Amino acid sequence: MNIFVLSICIVFSLLYSGDAFALLKQPGSANGCSECHVCKTPTADDPCLRACPRPRATPQEIKVGPDEILINEIESEYEPVRFAHRLHAEMTAMDRGCQDCHHFQEVGGITACKNCHPPTAADDNLEQPSLKGAYHRQCLGCHQDWSHETACEICHMKKGQVGPAYQMPKTSPGSRFAGLVEPEKKVWNSSYGGGTIVTLHHQNHTEKYGISCASCHHAEGCGSCHSKSGETTEIRHSEEALHGICNACHAEMSCKQCHLKTEAPEFSHDQTGWPLKFYHERLTCKRCHGNPNHFTKPTRDCSGCHNDWKVGTFKHAHTGFGLNETHVEISCEECHVGMNFAVPPTCSSCHDEDIAYPAAKPGDKLR
């Protein structure tokens, strides 16, 4: 009994003296706890971690990265691994970007893994594992999260083996779970204003506006959607976090524009006073409004987008109305006074009052 009490006293003494953390230092490690922790007694609530240089990658940086990397520094029992680098780099947009794998990089470039993780390093140093340990720790963490399978044959082929031992299912590129069901809309009941309804037309945002999944679901990881059961896991955010996601694009909107007493109808461009017709209804939103995360309002003057229009080169049929031979060579200003295309055209610059639009048309309506 006395020995047990003495043991407990020693443990508590070590914990409160800070020396316990020195005992956690791995054999062969050049660095102790102080390399990451700035205080002597870090806790789960206050780990007092130093800031590490971990820059996020931009879409432009991902594009210039290699498509594929051949991992062959430690081949012995298995053939070299062909790692689909760009495919994985694009997936990291759902989490932390390039730092998911390149987790400690000095600003200014990405160094090879073996420069920090030598192939011959001892695996008992958890602070800086060997190259083999680093590779497996990085790969297994994600694959366990989203596929729940970490069989060696998924990545490795035995020496002399003909053909892959593991056949990936024929699903969409980069995904082993085809056919994710995207909700048409999401509806929330809010306590704001005594009880209001918030409607998100989900498919509109992805298909019409071109918003990527990572724009709203960043840092949620892959496992919430790519589960082995095929069912998505709802991620519950705080009110502040939800507003932060929406305000990334809608910061200028007032509360009452989203919080309504009934479900909001799907957006129609007619609501703006500029109904889209013929040619423009086939365009994506960003063709006229730019970055989907920060849409800009174009002018009603067509020359704001079509500044290279000239008589003889512009095809008026794109408007849904084809000009006849008499009018096809006439300059735009003759019918569209002041180049204001928001008002009906006029015929008075060339014709008497007995000829006027729309009773008299300078061509044929195509649809």
Mind giving me the DSSP string for 230-296? SPPPPPP--HHHHHHHHHHHHTTS-GGGT-BSSPPPPP-GGGGT----TTGGGS-THHHH--TTS--
Query: What are the domain boundaries of the chain?
Result: 59-154, 186-270, 299-367
**Whole-number pLDDT of residue 200:** 94
Same fold for the domain at 59-154 and the one at 186-270? Answer: yes
Region of 15 (left: φ > 0; alpha: ψ -120 to 50; beta: rest) is: alpha
Nearest alpha-carbon partner for 95 in 207, 242, 224, 228: 224
**Whole-number pLDDT of residue 344:** 85
Helices (H), 81-238: 85-91, 131-146, 202-203, 213-217
Sign of the CA dihedral with 203 first, then 207, 209, and 211 last: positive
**Whole-number pLDDT of residue 228:** 65
**Whole-number pLDDT of residue 48:** 81
What count of other Cβ atoms lies within 10 Å of the Cβ of residue 347?
20
Q: Mean pLDDT of residues grouped by 10 in the chain (367 residues)?
A: 40 36 39 74 79 54 78 81 85 76 70 83 74 86 76 82 56 44 86 88 88 80 68 76 88 89 91 81 84 79 71 76 87 84 84 87 84
Residue 288's identity, in one-letter code, is: C
Task: Return the CATH class of domain 186-270.
Answer: alpha beta
**Whole-number pLDDT of residue 199:** 95
Q: 3-state DSSP call for residue 13? A: helix
The token pair that represents 139 in the structure block:
């790969």
How many Å separate Cα 204 from the centre of its chain? Answer: 16
Q: How far apart are the first and last CA of the chain?
A: 96
Which CATH homologous superfamily contains domain 59-154? Answer: Cytochrome C3 (3.90.10.10)
Q: 3-state DSSP call for residue 50? A: coil
